Each structure stands twice: as C-alpha cells, then as structure tokens.
Amino acid sequence: MNESDNSVNDDVSVQPPRGLLARLRGYLFAGILVTAPISITVYLTYVFLTFVDSKVVHLLPKDWYDALYGSTTFPGLGLIISLTGFIMIGWFATNFLGRMIIRVSEYIVARMPVIRTLYSAIKQIFETIMATQSTAFREVVMLEYPRKGVWSIGFVTGITQGEVQEHTKAETVNVFVPTTPNPTSGYLLFVPKKELKYLDMSVEEGVKLVVSAGIISPQDGNKKK
C-alpha cells in the first residue's frame, strides 16, 4: 500500500458515522422546516375565513343560515358572500341609477367638515392603488437613508408634483421607506431622482426582504416581473 492510499484511508477515518441522536435531530429540523410554513399558512387562512364568516354569515336570515349551514359549518362561506356582494355593488355602481346615487352621496359627504377630508383621502388612495395604469409600488429602489453611507430599501409611489416639487430644484420622486418587520408603516420621502438606485427585484421580493429583516434576499440578476 502506497502513501496515497494511506492518506485516503486517513481522510475517511476522520469522518465518523453520524450517531442515532444526530440523525434524529436532523430529521426533527427537516420536519419542522417542512411542516411549519404549511401549518402556519393553513392556520392563518382558517382564522381569516372564520373571522369573515363571523361578521358576514350572520347577516343572512335565520332560515337561509340554517339551510346553508345546518348543524355544521362551512369555512369560507362568508368570504364567498362578501365577494358576491362586492360584485353586485360594482355592477350596480356602473348603472345610471347607481352612478346618480353615488353622486348624491358624495355631494352630501362633501358638506360634512371632518368626514369629507377623511373620505377624500381614503378614496384617492384606493383609486391610486387600484388604477391599472398606476405606477405606485411597482419599482424598488435603494437610497442613502437615514444618513450618507447607510442604504435603505424603498418603493417608488409616484413622481413628486405640485407645491413640493416647486420648492425643490431637482426632479423629485416620492419614495415610501417601510419599517421592518411591519412594512405597512414607514416614512414618505421626497428624494431627487438622481440619488436613487433602481433595483431589478420585483416589489414582492422587496417586501419579502423587508419583512424577513434581510433573511430572505432575492438572487442576483432577478428581473422585475
């Protein structure tokens, strides 16, 4: 036997076989990694459906409720009723009578001092998000915030217009910088466009990056969908 054979045998002997406890520990971790995401997703879905059912289904007449449910429950029925209701309201709103009722309602709301401001702001936000041609939250950028040399992830919500743009020299962009791990709160910044670095990652990937506190990072070279 030559020296090369001895070195190979030494390398093999350095790696002892895994013990029973080590294998069981590996199986345990693998089982948690496989089961936890599925279980949490199913649980949150069930909680959401149950919440919607508890708020919507009991609006039905008791005879209808007993006919649909009986002695058992059907998770998701409230969600189906809600979606059907939204569709019916949308259909009605596109008719002449529906549009006239909406105009009268908005006219009345516009005469209420506090409510008109709240309604106008909420309506404008929803119209911006739901508009098919809107560019809100469709681009992910990096910017130096809260100070030079420190970078943050942000989402472009539009081009700065009106009085804000008039008071700035450079072309300015509206950027929403979310907080971690709750991306629904954050800061609205008006940043010169030349100071932004536009990323190729999609908005979904950017949100995952923020929510996971950097644990889930998109691969290099991923393009926006």
Confidence at residue 199, expressed as pLDDT on a 0 to 100 scale: 94
- Order of strands, edge to edge, in the sheet holding 197-198? 186-192, 172-178, 151-159, 140-144, 197-198
To the nearest 10°, the Cα dihedral for 200, 201, 203, 204?
160
Distance CA 197, CA 148 (A): 14
Distance of CA 53 to the CA centre of its chain: 23
Helix (H), strand (E) at residue 190 = strand 186-192
Mean pLDDT, 10 residues at a time, the chain of 225 residues: 49 57 77 74 79 71 64 65 79 82 84 81 70 67 94 92 89 92 88 94 89 81 51
To the nearest 10°, the Cα dihedral for 106, 111, 117, 123?
0
Question: Scanning the structure block, which residue is given the tokens 């997703």?
Answer: 41
Confidence at residue 13, expressed as pLDDT on a 0 to 100 scale: 46
Distance CA 14, CA 16 (A): 6
